[in-house]
Amino acid sequence: MTDHLPDILKRKDEHIDHVLAGRGAGAGSTGLEAVRFEHQALPELDLAAIDLSASLLGLPLKAPFLISSMTGGPSRAADINLRLAEAAEALGVALAVGSQRVALETGGAEGLGRELRARAPTVPLLANLGAVQFVKGFGLDEARRAVEMIGADALILHLNSLQEAVQEGGDRDWRGVADAIAAVAEAFPGRLVVKETGAGISTHTAERLSGCGVAAIDVAGSGGTNWGLVEGARGLEPRTRAVAEAFAGWGVPTARSILNVRRHAPGVEVIGSGGIKDGLDAARAIRLGATVVGQAAGLLEAATRSTEAVVDHIETVTAQLRLACFCTGSADLKALAQAPLLDEAAARF
């Protein structure tokens, strides 16, 4: 084990505590509340017959949900990961694991091994590494090892520049990251997702990622967990916290981020995440152009308890999404994406 790994393991463990305690809750909103559906009093639908099936990277889903990346594999996260995998399989939704950097550098699974695929044999499973690591020594070999480690269908490269800049000892030189993403995309055609981590996607970034050849973008917009605040809460120096707190409302809101990708990255799948509270928020994200909706922090507390708690949470969100379809007269998600709004300008802002 290299000298820095104990610190990484400790940091990953502390992340769980800080998110559960709400210390990563940023200021501002997701912007999704501006999307107000027009109620259809005569839906002419059977609620139970509404089709919520979707797909991610060509892989089928029973409902349009991704259990988003939330842990990087410290020892106590192993149970969390297994519960998430079991819930994903039970409900037919996708699962993205947290960063596998530690697992690669230690040669140990740290809760991120083949047992995840064994628990979730039929659903989309996404591996995950930090994009900045690909200008710090990682290459295609590490990308392939991350995928093979869990038997994944695709790979996520996450963008966390705000977090790294605040984090004491974080990676602050991001020169060349776009070129590195393009190289990984070429090696994983149709299987590379790029994910923000709470600060959203601008029009410029959407265009650059589209040019890099990525298959999907997970917007992870502002309005949810702010990882700059999490690192500020962890910081030993008062200045670290003060710097982070100034950025409590930083980022591109989730609603705007979805629209940015839809408009400026044509042909790229959109994963709507960042502060998704419930199934109505999921419906709003789909109306703006998301194909699949991701949730992480909202699931973490349930995942610390049991698989059943995770299943119950997702089933509740699914029921809320189904009701949104019913009350908008939408027989499926394609219809929901075109459902009338009280203020059509909300879908164009």
Residue 275 and residue 281: Cα distance in Å, rounded? 9
CA 81 to chain centre: 15
pLDDT in tens, 150-204: 999 999 999 999 999 999 889 999 999 999 999 999 999 999 999 999 999 999 9
pLDDT of residue 1: 40
How many residues are present in the chain? 349
Dig out the tokens for 55 from the structure. 């797909």
Classify burial at 26, counting beta carbons within 10 Å of its beta carbon; exposed 0-12, middle 13-18, buried 19 or more: buried
**Domain assignments of the chain as residue spans, ordered by start:** 5-347
The percent of residues in the chain predicted with pLDDT above 70, rounded, is 89
Residue 66 and residue 106: Cα distance in Å, rounded? 28
Kindly tell me if the per-residue pLDDT of 23 is higher than 70. Answer: no
5-347, CATH topology level: TIM Barrel (3.20.20)
pLDDT of residue 11: 58
pTM of the predicted model as reported, rounded to 2 decimal places:
0.92
> Is there a contact between 246 and 219 (Cβ–Cβ < 8 Å)?
no
